[in-house]
Each structure stands twice: as structure tokens, then as C-alpha cells.
Amino acid sequence: MKLTATMEKKYEGLSPFELKNKLISMAESHHERMMLNAGRGNPNWVAITPRQGFFQLGLFAIEESERISHRPDFGGLPEKEGSAKRFEAFAQKNSSVPGIDFLQKAFSYVYNDLKIDPDTFVAEMVDAILADHYPTPDRMLTCATEIVRKYLAFTMCAGDPPKGTFDLFATEGGTAAMDYIFTSLMENHLLHKGDKIALGTPIFTPYLEIPRLNDYEFVELEIAQDENSDWQYPDSEIKKLEDPKVKAFFLVNPSNPTSVSMQQETLDKIAKLVNTKRKDLILLTDDVYGTFVNGFRSLAAACPLNTILVYSFSKYFGATGWRLGVIGIHEDNVFDKKIKALPAKDRKQLHNRYASVEFDPDNMKLIERMVADSRSVALHHTAGLSTPQQVLMVMFSLSILIDKDEEYKKKAQDIVAKRFKTLYSAVGIPHPENEHDAHYYTTIDIPTLAEETYGKDFRNWLVKKHEPIDFVMRLAEEKSIVLMDGGGFDAPQMSIRVSLANLNDDAYAKIGKGVRELLGDYYKQWKK
């Protein structure tokens, strides 16, 4: 297929994720070559040990149900009393089975370190994995909340969380969390159509697209990271947040596609601005990649009262299909105060909205309103993440909390870091050195690479004579390599985003070689 500028302009109007489908189609059309698709962020690893524990716990739960049998093949509701002792007997009987040793260590941590009553914990896990009740509480199971809260304190706050407690709401992945958050911020008059919101860019493309929908019609203000300063937010960009018309600042940290986290100095600057000039600013941070960075600290740790934290277990544990996410909001937050300070007319409307599900709707926390809004209020009694999903969140959390030497983290980091170095070596340029880099993705600025390799005149020709997506389209058509267009994430035009998570190690040498060869093909064309 002959690519034309007209065709490319047409595709530039699509989301990068929709463009990706076209690139895949182009790459697959060459059956003589194997397609390499590094466009998706779905990891190609699976955390085994916590899953083994999960399924062994499921078998124990079946035994517990069989103790209260109604009829053949019909179990009953397990008993709480003595459940911990019965689990210990089950563990001893199956001591050589994979997953049992993990469960014993994890449960010991729950009893001894978190001081949770053994029978209470085991009974909650058994009932939850059998899924014979609606989630109770609907926002998140009680023991699960304590354990996931501890996990977030360790991973999102470098083990040093701010004073106070974060209320949690378990959700169907980070995407559902975002949907619930935007819905409730609008329903509770914290944001309105036409409001100005700031977006930390580059950023995950759907987050650029959501504000433009007619549901919201927000006015966007970009707070741009500086490629030449390790992808940090310059002072001049942070200063934009001083504008009182900016109602919210929304970011991904570490960012997608640049995969670099904010340094403490940047966090401190934003915290200072919030604590002095913008005490009313809403902060929303998606920190799914934070677990890949040593010493990571979320904006929720720096500005706890103003921040809504979103975290997903999907990437770190290879669990995108499980849809495991959580929203965290500090118990003493600005959102609840802002709702109480709304005009009387708005407060009355909200009283009526939530009166059918809450005795005292005027004092209902924002996070509880999110739970109700997630089921259009009227179906509030069926709200909450499925209980087996919450059990797996607990297993994942405990696997990290008992891993005192952080062996899992080191191995996960090693996977993506090795691919990162392999890619850059194959492209033929030094890999960036940055201790704040999660290495989950990387962004290569093709015009900059062109200038460094063949000179400024070639760069100017490349940019002037070709559409921004020409490079990724030719890469798919001629090399059967699918990468994402960085410009669609508000990264530099004609840059490429490479996922370092979803292909085997040796694929990244082929991708790097393909990028280098294609740039050489452009150079030959220019020389002619």
C-alpha cells in the first residue's frame, strides 16, 4: 500500500489506540515477516506466587463450605469461629503444595504485624472468594481495606505515609476509577462544564480525550514536562496552577509515555503552591507505574488533603484482565469541605440525590458518593468490586508486604530495564540514565535522533516533508513493527512510544534495528 500525506492526515485525527489497529493491520499484511507489536502496555509476565496462594485459598474455602452441606453438590455458608485453626490444619495437610507456604507467611503477617483477628480475617477471605454475598461494606471489604492501605503506604509513599488515614474504594481497574471520579466530581458540583483543568503532559491519550467529551467540555491547560530536564515540570509550568480558574490538575506519575516519575523537588514545589496559594486545587494522580521506581512518592504523599489517588495492580503483577484498581482519598480532605460549602440550592439537590441510600446525606463523604454514583445511586445496594477480585488484591498486596528484600520488585525492574538497554543499543544510541525512570515505556524523539545521526538539514527535511505519523506507519508497513505515535500523547511530534513490557527480550533488539534501518531509508531518500 502506497502511503500518502492525505491518508496520513486522515489517520492523525484518530486516537493513538485506534491508529494502532490500523498499524497492526498493515504489519500483519506481510505474512513473510513476524509482526512485533510493542504498542500495548499489557505485560507479558504473571506474578505466580500470590496466584498460587489465591487458588489454594479457594480450595480451602470449598472445604469450609462443604462442612455446612445442604445437599450433594450444595455447600453452605462457612462458619467464622475456628476458621483460622481449620486453615492451619489445611495448610499442614498440604504443606508441600505450591502457594501454601506463601499463605502461611502472609497470614502470619496479617495476625502479628497488622494485628487483625485470625478468625475475622480468614472468614472474610473465605466468604469473599466464594462470593456468596454482595461486597460488605460495598466500598471495600474491611480486612482488605487495611491490607491494601498498608500496601499503598509502602509503595506509593515510600513507607512513610502522611498522618491520618486514606479511605479506599476498590474499583474495576484504574479506568473504572477514573470514570467514577469524573462522574462524582461533576455530580457534586466540584467541577462544571466549561471549567478549566490542567493536564500534565505527555499523558495517556484517553485522559486527553475525556475532558473534550460533551459530558464535561472542560477547557484544557497543558502543564508540560521538559524533555531536557528529565521530564520534570519546570517552574514556569507549575506557576500556571496559580490561576484560580484552574479547578483541577490531572496527571499520570510516572507518566505515560515518558515513564519518568516526579522527583522530590518537583513534588515539594507543587505542595508549596497548594499549601500557600491554591488550597482549593483538586489533584488527581494515576500512579500505576510507581511500583517500578525505587523510593517512589506519590503526589498523594506530598499533598494528601487535595489529592485523589488512583492505583491499579494490573501492570506490576501482570493482571490487566482481572481489573483491579483502587481510589484513595484522605479522611480529612478538601473535597468534603467544598461540598459542605456549596450554595444552599446545590446542597439541597445533593441531599435529595443521596437521601435514598444514606440517613445523613449532607455529611456523606465524597468517596461514599462515588460508590453510590458508580451504580447510578438507585442500584447502590449492588455496588462494590466483586469479592474474589478483592481477595486477589489482598494476595498481591501481601506478597509485597512480606517480601522484606524486595526480590519481586528487583526482578520486575530487571525485566523492563534489560529490554530498555537492549532497545537503545540496537538503535545505536546511549540509553538515558535516570533513577526516576520506571522503564515501562520509553519515548524516542525521531527528529532529534535524525539530527544526531545525520545532521540538522536532514532533520529539517524529515519534519517538513512528512506527516508526524509517517514514521510509525512506515515502520508497520515496511518492518512489521507496531509502535505508538508519541505525538498522540502530547509527546514530541514524530516521536515513538515503545512498550518495554509486552514482548520477549530479544524482540527489542529487532525493534531497535528496525527503527535504525528505517531512519537510514529516509536518509537515502533525502540524499537522492
- For residue range 204-242, list pLDDT tens digits in order: 777 777 777 678 889 999 999 998 899 999 999 999 999
Query: What pLDDT score does 226 carry?
Result: 93
Q: What is the CATH number of the domain that holds 443?
A: 3.90.1150.10
pTM above 0.95, yes or no: no
Containing structural domain, residue 111: 48-133
Structural domain includes residue 455? yes
The whole-number pLDDT of residue 10 equals 62
Q: Are both 122 and 257 inside the same structural domain?
A: no
Selection from 228, 211, 203 nearest residue 491 by Cα: 203
DSSP secondary structure string for all residues of 422-487: HHHHHHTSPPP--TTB--SEEEEEHHHHHHHHH-HHHHHHHHHHS-TTHHHHHHHHHH-EE-EEGG
At residue 485, the pLDDT reads: 87
- What is residue 133's predicted lDDT score, i.e. its pLDDT? 95
Q: Are 73 and 187 within one domain?
A: no
Same-domain status, 95 and 11:
no
Total number of domains constituting the chain: 3
187 and 321 share one domain = yes
**406-443: pLDDT as tens digits:** 999 999 999 999 999 999 999 999 999 999 999 999 99
pLDDT in tens, 476-507: 999 999 998 888 778 788 999 999 999 999 99
Does residue 289 share a domain with residue 348? yes
Q: Are 176 and 315 in the same domain?
A: yes
More confident position, 45 or 21: 45
Three cell numbers written together for 426: 540496537
CA of residue 364 relative to chain centroid, distance: 27
Helix, strand, coil distribution of the chain in percent, nearest 5: 50, 15, 35
**The pLDDT value given to residue 18:** 64
Q: Are residues 260 and 348 part of one domain?
A: yes
Q: Which of residues 334, 361, 378 is at a domain's end?
A: 378
In a domain, 395, yes or no: no
Q: Is residue 228 part of a domain?
A: yes
Statement to judge: residues 170 and 111 lie in one domain: no
Q: What is the pLDDT of residue 370?
A: 98
Q: Between 507-527 and 456-465, two packed helices, what is the crossing angle to 10 degrees?
A: 90
Examine the domain organization and report whether 230 and 360 are in the same domain. yes
* pLDDT tens profile 434-475: 999 999 999 999 999 999 999 999 999 999 999 988 999 999
Q: Is residue 476 part of a domain?
A: yes
For residue 59, is it within any domain?
yes
| Mean per-residue pLDDT, 169-182 | 95
Q: What is the CATH number of the domain that holds 86?
A: 1.10.20.110
Residues 333 and 431 in one domain: no
pLDDT at 29: 61
Residue 374: which pLDDT band, with cuts at 50, 70 and 90? Answer: very high
Domain boundary among 331, 358, 378: 378
Q: Which of 114, 133, 152 is the C-terminal boundary of a domain?
A: 133
Is residue 219 in a domain? yes
Domain containing 206 — which CATH number?
A: 3.40.640.10
28 and 52 together in one domain? no
Same domain, 118 and 242: no
- pLDDT score for 41: 83
